[in-house]
Amino acid sequence: MRRDSALVLATRGLVSALETWKALLLFLVLNAALAFAFTHPLTSALRQTLDKSPWAERLASGNAELHTFFTSFARTRPDVLGDLSKWDEALTGERQARTASGRPAPHSGFFKTSGLSGSAVGFGALTALLAALFSGGFAGRFGAERERTSFAAFGADAARFAVPSLLLGALSLAGILAAYRFLYAATGTLYEPDELRYEWEAVGLLLFRLVVFLLAAGFIRLVVLYARAALGQGIPNPLLALMRGLGFVLGRPVRTLALEVLFGALGLLPLLVWLFVGPVWDGRELGGFVLILAGQQLVVLLRILTRVGHLGAASAYLRRSKEGNAPAPASAAPATTASGPSADSAAVRVL
């Protein structure tokens, strides 16, 4: 098997990620703290509502429809979830109302919403900020030749690459938002779904727009990923690293895309397993809740491992490419044999 095959690179990336297990656990703890701060208002409101509602007995018996319950909860406590219609518009890329000048593309109206829908924006921004800071540390450790398991060296790399990594993260976010705005949301204004003859035509157009947007967003993410890997291998300028990542992805589209698909599948696998076999807490035994919480954090840890492993694979791929393009050392020149008198030797007079 070739040293730069997708499976070999993926294995090397996962092994490199496991070497930084202390940083992985720290990222997991901080992510759990952010998730607790995000969901605590919702859980408190649900507890207060169920304490004085007949829904508690129905949910405990398992005979209640969750969709009906949350519809009723959103109607009676609109301050908790907030206005979810803005997120529906963002996901579908379509506004419900049509003005005289046409149906405009949805904008960032959810930035002004309250409740959980408004807090989701801040939660996403903090998570992206945390991921960008940690990515700089991981890139620095993957580009180092030694002390990959050193937590102190990881912190030093995270501080050293903080600004370039945050800049790359901002460029990635801006590029993905622009792709959403022009490739997904704006194209939804070119037609009216209700005016199409068949429903499958509207569904097909929606899926086509979604696929185009996901391809563009995936390409942007790949470029930024390899740019971060280039940061850790001695390119401190973020713009030069971005150009290095862009050229590397364009020069090797098949293998970089194969790694993206492979790690994407590895990241979805724990979610699918938990979706089909994950237990549901009945609200009675505390031990069952602890096991469920531990299982959820294990799923999150595996997803973090795959994301970091992808960065490790990108760093290994860049290093392997650099080694392959390095010029071979010059061989020693062969010694000349003295087959006759040299040109600069003095003539010997024969008597």
Specify the pTM.
0.78
The one-letter amino acid at 103: R
Q: What's the pLDDT at 336? A: 46
Q: For the chain, how many residues are written?
A: 351
| Closest CA relative to residue 305, chosen from 257, 351, 270 | 270
Q: Give the whole-angstrom CA distance, residue 158 versus residue 135.
A: 7
Domain ranges (residues) in the chain:
6-21+118-325
Residue-wise pLDDT tens digits, 119-132: 777 788 888 899 99
Q: Which residues, in sequence order, are bridge partners of residue 99?
A: 102
Q: What's the pLDDT at 329? A: 54
Three-state DSSP at 130 gives helix
Q: Is the pLDDT assigned to residue 331 strictly greater than 60?
A: no
Contacts with 167 (C-beta within 8 Å, 6 or more apart), sequence order: 238
Q: Which of the pair, 290 or 21, is modelled with greater confidence?
A: 21
